[in-house]
Structure 1
Amino acid sequence: MGQTLSEPVTAKESSYCQNQVYRVGSSCMQGWRINMEDSHTHILSLPDDPGAAFFAVYDGHGGATVAQYCGKHLHKFILKRPEYNENDIVKALKQGFLDMDYEMLHNDSCGEQMAGSTAVVVLIKDNILYCANAGDSRAIACVNGELEVLSIDHKPNNEAESKRINEGGGWVEFNRVNGNLALSRALGDFVFKRNANKKPEEQIVTAYPDVETRKILEDWEFILLACDGIWDVMSNAEVLQFCRSRIGMGMYPEEICEELMNHCLAPDCQMGGLGGDNMTVVLVCLLHDKPYDDLIARCANSNKSSQNMSYGGSNPDPDVAATTDTDNKINEATSQEQQPATNVASPSLTAESTAANSSDNKGDKETASPASGAQLHPFIY
């Protein structure tokens, strides 16, 4: 059972950065939750490897400590691995996740806490994309207008995940680990990592990520990383169309991130968890050494072509395709998308940005007793 406020916090922390290769926007919003526990990172040029870029979203639960630590340090642990210098990036990512988890376990500020965090990471080096994922945050890409799935959610009811949980001494109940945790891989959550007879990757909950690799070509348009507060509400295809249509309208990535979160925000706290979570989005537009206007024109032209094919030459509102079923999913009783007021932090043009807000106890992944009083309302995650 999670907890929500009587009114959502819709103020957003947004930022952007750009070089010749990327135009990146990000935004995060507390929403209905009593605390903000997400963190995110975008680094256009890693200090220890200037030719590599790093983007990540971390969805914390049980507190913001682990998510914040990830936002500040995970990329450093990955680059420290000897495999990274040997160009075995996949192994460096996997072992880097475990190294940082080990460090937190033996760190007084993290090791004794009940906090944990998902991690979805995209590292790009020499036009190769590496996506490492632990948990149910997710990354997708748009390639010539088509969906490219970059990560698969780790849920306790997945066959392979359930097998590891059971062999590690745990169980799955109500699609949760030990009836409590709604995801099966995470950094932190050390209460589920105490089997001395199992390796770190074999624990009931493991920080060991799956890694996908892709070759980035000229037809790659953008990459989007987001926490499950977005994916609980919209499908991969809906998010892709939502973003691509707005790039074609000339919107900047950070503006699209804000609008996507507004679109997913529940109109009230009675939606069974849909649209009630913290939300964080990072949108990485691939420029290929060209102006952002070139990507705008590309998306606009292809959007017009698809609309003309679908509507017999008519020119409907480009938002129609992006919002087909989602409004009904959010609120069947309303016919118009809610647009809550925002208070957006002024963006600054920087090559590196991390964001997170500290908090105490979050109930989106772990069960919590509902609070009494008029200010809090429980809902099912």
Structure 2
Amino acid sequence: MGNSLPVESKFTFEEENDRIKYVVSSMQGWGEKMEDAHAAILNLDDATSTSFFGVYDGHGGAEVALYCAKQFHIELCNHEDYHNDLINALDNVFLSMDENLQQSDAWRELVIPHDNGCMYFLKAGVCAKPFPQATYTGPAYEGSTACVVVIRGNQMIVGHVGDSRCVLSRQGGLAIDLSFDHKPCTRTESERERVQNAGGRSLGLRCEQVMGNYVVKEQWVLGDFGGGVTISRSIGDFAFKKNKDLDREKQMLVCDPDILADDITDDMEFLVIASQGLWSCVDSADVVSYIHDRLSVEGAELRVICEEVVEFGLASGENTTVILVQFKPGAFQYQLVDPAGFGTAVSNIASTSAAPAGASDTSDEGVMADSCATADTSGSARAESGELVPTPSANNTVTDEVDPTGTVAADDKVDPNSSANADADDGAPKPSLGAVIESDEVALDATATGHQVAVRQQEEFDPKKCWICGKGYKKILLEPSSARARNPLLAHAKTCESEDKKAKKKITKYMMKANVTNQYH
């Protein structure tokens, strides 16, 4: 926070196709400068019906977030598994982005205007050639979160590091977190232990008051170094990743993402992808409830609603960026393009391989620092042997702000196969069970998120509320600690045990009835 008055002007852009409509809006707020960035690309390539959305919340400067917004989706398109194993491709891109930042400072050319290179060379110290040049180590205290959503056909993948968050609204305004903040104080015990074992120590909780609202944060530092972080995973921040005695995955900060994949079903209404500026002020349930209620009003505009949600973040004292993705009713029921592109972890359909895609050339619209960009829907492709693949452009160089996007007509390259989930016993659709991939130390079912298992168990055992405190099942699902459990109701009841001496007998009785012993953590 560094301004006497907040910057309340907003950048807002909207776009739609036959499947989805999205609006992105961002505001600097009380922040001294804009460090958020985002990428919103409706058609990522011509060969597959793929959309990409990413929110990047920078800290220590805007450059890493800007680089992610310009390059992340390009790295994804260029990955060899982009067509035949999208989950693996997305997982690897998080690591490759970190490696790109650490190898050399060439990445800065994408985010810093240079005036024919003169300012860049002056900044790099070319005039001071006689002095020995220090070994490049990457941005020490500059970093960024990343929360990205890739939609292909009727399936979506969510990958994230840090505390930018993606939340799904199911029918009726039920909020379901598709990502969980990577923070030592709120993540799993193993996450906190990793940070501590790498030399991190907590400075304790600090409370900030902004516009009459109190925001509580826990800040961590590495040893006695100055500067601290409030997250446990990020892209960049190499001062917290350089312990030579530890492997990469055991450093204080890591860039290993949590990745979740799931089918898009008719009961899904919209996604909210936002930076911490929003989530530090309001919780997921309140945001989803507000948007759901506003959408139910006749004539409500998605653009206006998104800007209203951005204003909630003003009280945080931080930048706020929100991408609101609305699923069009019935649009995903019969659209499935190359389901094998999600890998065997998501689909039982046999995998088919395709040639890796190169980045196609467009302008840098749609990929931006949240202060000055728009979305891009143009691209180039060519037909070879009956297949359309993105092709490299003539000016595909580091200094060119390439963006491999393309426009796919509503009736082009669509495989009319249904992927709606239905049980054989009754034929009625039920909540789909997505796959949690690379989720660090979170004891979830191999094919379902905590929320989805909870819904399934609610249907089987029909527990409407906690038998100890009386809290409703829907509210229990919104508790972070309960939501990550395999049986949220049982996990919540355990927390009530100390308040009721008879709780243990009741819990044991329920466990025997439901046959879910040790299904919570």
The DSSP-based 3-state class of the residue aligned with 1:163 is helix
Kindly report which structure 2 residues correspond to 1:84-163, keeping only aligned pairs within 5 A, or say none: 84-87=82-85, 89-108=86-105, 111-145=138-172, 146-157=174-185, 158=187, 159-163=189-193
Match of 1:18 in 2: 16
Kindly report which structure 2 residues correspond to 1:17-56, keeping only aligned pairs within 5 A, or say none: 17-47=15-45, 49-56=47-54
- CA contact 1:253–1:284 (8 Å) conserved in 2: no
* 2:163 pairs with 1:166: no
Match of 2:305 in 1: 256
Match of 1:355 in 2: 368
Task: Describe the superposition over 1:192-224 as per-residue Cα deviations: whole angstroms up to 9, x where unpaired.
Answer: 111234443332111111011111011211111
AA matched with 2:266? E
- CA contact 1:132–1:210 (8 Å) conserved in 2: yes
Change (3 A) 1:164 1:284: same
Change (3 A) 1:19 1:178: same
RMSD between superposed Cα atoms in Å = 2.3
Change (3 A) 1:127 1:156: same
Q: 1:74 aligns with which of 72, 75, 78?
A: 72
AA matched with 2:65? A
- CA contact 2:94–2:256 (8 Å) conserved in 1: yes
The DSSP-based 3-state class of the residue aligned with 2:6 is strand
AA matched with 2:164? S
- CA contact 1:94–1:211 (8 Å) conserved in 2: yes
Cα distance in 2 for residues equivalent to 1:236 and 1:79: 31
Deviation of residue 168 (structure 1)? 2.9
Cα distance in 2 for residues equivalent to 1:191 and 1:264: 29
Match of 1:239 in 2: 287
Change (3 A) 1:282 1:126: same
* 2:267 pairs with 1:219: yes
Cα distance in 2 for residues equivalent to 1:70 and 1:238: 29
* 2:2 pairs with 1:4: yes
- Structure 2 length as normaliser, TM-score? 0.53
Change (3 A) 1:263 1:178: closer
Match of 2:221 in 1: 178
Stretches of structure 1 that go unaligned for 5 or more consecutive residues are 267-274, 291-349, 359-381
Cα distance in 1 for residues equivalent to 2:38 and 2:75: 16
Task: Describe the superposition over 1:222-278 as per-residue Cα deviations: whole angstroms up to 9, x where unpaired.
Answer: 111001111111111100011112222233322212111223423xxxxxxxx2110
Deviation of residue 121 (structure 1)? 0.7
Cα distance in 1 for residues equivalent to 2:139 and 2:364: 34
Change (3 A) 1:155 1:21: same
Task: Describe the superposition over 1:101-140 as per-residue Cα deviations: whole angstroms up to 9, x where unpaired.
Answer: 1001123156245211111111111311111010001000
Stretches of structure 2 that go unaligned for 5 or more consecutive residues are 109-137, 205-217, 223-227, 332-362, 372-521
Moved over 6 A (4+): none
Moved more, 10-19 or 212-221: 212-221
AA matched with 1:154? H
Cα distance in 1 for residues equivalent to 2:369 and 2:319: 11
- CA contact 1:43–1:351 (8 Å) conserved in 2: no
Deviation of residue 288 (structure 1)? 4.3
Deviation of residue 178 (structure 1)? 1.5
AA matched with 1:168? A
* 2:284 pairs with 1:228: no
Match of 2:59 in 1: 61
The DSSP-based 3-state class of the residue aligned with 2:317 is coil
* 2:314 pairs with 1:284: no
The DSSP-based 3-state class of the residue aligned with 1:255 is helix
Deviation of residue 353 (structure 1)? 1.6
Moved more, 56-65 or 172-181: 172-181
- CA contact 2:101–2:139 (8 Å) conserved in 1: no
Match of 1:294 in 2: none
Change (3 A) 1:178 1:76: same
Change (3 A) 1:351 1:76: closer
Task: Specify the structure having the higher radius of gyration (Cα).
Answer: 2
Change (3 A) 1:113 1:192: closer
Cα distance in 2 for residues equivalent to 1:167 and 1:90: 30
- Structure 1 length as normaliser, TM-score? 0.71
The DSSP-based 3-state class of the residue aligned with 2:366 is strand
- CA contact 2:98–2:255 (8 Å) conserved in 1: yes
Match of 1:193 in 2: 241
Cα distance in 2 for residues equivalent to 1:351 and 1:150: 28
More strand by share: 1
Deviation of residue 142 (structure 1)? 0.9
Change (3 A) 1:56 1:29: same
Task: Describe the superposition over 1:292-341 as per-residue Cα deviations: whole angstroms up to 9, x where unpaired.
Answer: xxxxxxxxxxxxxxxxxxxxxxxxxxxxxxxxxxxxxxxxxxxxxxxxxx
The DSSP-based 3-state class of the residue aligned with 2:25 is strand
Cα distance in 1 for residues equivalent to 2:246 and 2:325: 38
AA matched with 1:207? C
